[in-house]
Amino acid sequence: MLALEVAILSEMGGRKANEDACGHWHSVDELCCVLADGAGGHGGGGVAARLVVERMLQGFAARPTTGARQLTDLVFDTNRAVIEARTPHTERANMFSTVVGLVIDFVRHQVHWAHAGDSRLYWFREGRIHARTRDHSLVQSLVDAGLLPPEQARSHPQRSELRSALGTASDVLEVSDSGEPHEVLAGDVFLLCTDGLWEHVPDAALLATLAAASSPTAWLAALEQVVTEATRQKASHDNFTALTVWTSAAPAA
């Protein structure tokens, strides 16, 4: 069995409201973590993000997923809930949200995930990035097509333009997942974060701060400092949210 430590960071940044949301729930053998970044104007993004996290966690609690296909189905169910919650002429009229969901089976040492949009999952092992989700965004499409160098993606003027997000018609919604469950090793670290964080924290800074951190909370505090320094001259920078899970070998009974 694995022991898990979870820590959360969610800051308003330079905005008037925080339209990010995240949360987690666990059963006797699985942990489910969900993070969302809302959009839609007039507060609708915050409503959407909170709805996404709530529905994902409630859905998982009612029927824990055992693989990525089931988690993707839950994302599509949640997408329908976002569409159904829209109300014309209110803050909910045009709301959307990204989502990234992570499930760790800490008894069987397995992990699976699913996501839509540009909120990311990073998986770290032995001081390196072991895996990362690929954004559903215009900029990622340009990088994939060889039309934009990866190092220019963070500063591209259209970096926030999404190809997929919850609130989109189900027949065109793009959801990506991890495929078959992957083995988790003691010492692995997972990070879910919105673009308000990863945009300002290059991979080298992620790795350096993780290597220097003594705990999940200390790591997120260091990431917050990196974002704060990077946005010192950007008064209206985005909300930024992160949820991290650190794994270790559970003590013997």
128's tokens: 């390196």
Q: What is the pLDDT of residue 252?
A: 64
Listed as ranges, residues in the chain with pLDDT below 70 are 41-42, 157, 252-253
Q: What is the pLDDT of residue 227?
A: 96
Number of domains into which the chain is organized: 1
The predicted-structure confidence for 171-229, as pLDDT tens digits, reads as follows 999 999 999 889 999 999 999 999 999 999 999 999 999 999 999 999 999 999 999 99
Structural domain containing residue 166: 2-249
Domain of 43: which CATH number? 3.60.40.10
- The neighbouring-strand residues paired with 105 are 30, 110
Cβ atoms of 128 and 193 within 8 Å: the answer is no
Q: What is the pLDDT of residue 68?
A: 97
d(CA 60, CA 42): 30
- Backbone region of residue 145 per phi and psi (left: phi > 0; alpha: psi in -120 to 50; beta: other values): alpha
What is the DSSP-derived secondary structure letter of residue 186?
T
Cβ atoms of 101 and 198 within 8 Å: the answer is no
Q: What is the pLDDT of residue 253?
A: 59
Q: What is the pLDDT of residue 16?
A: 83
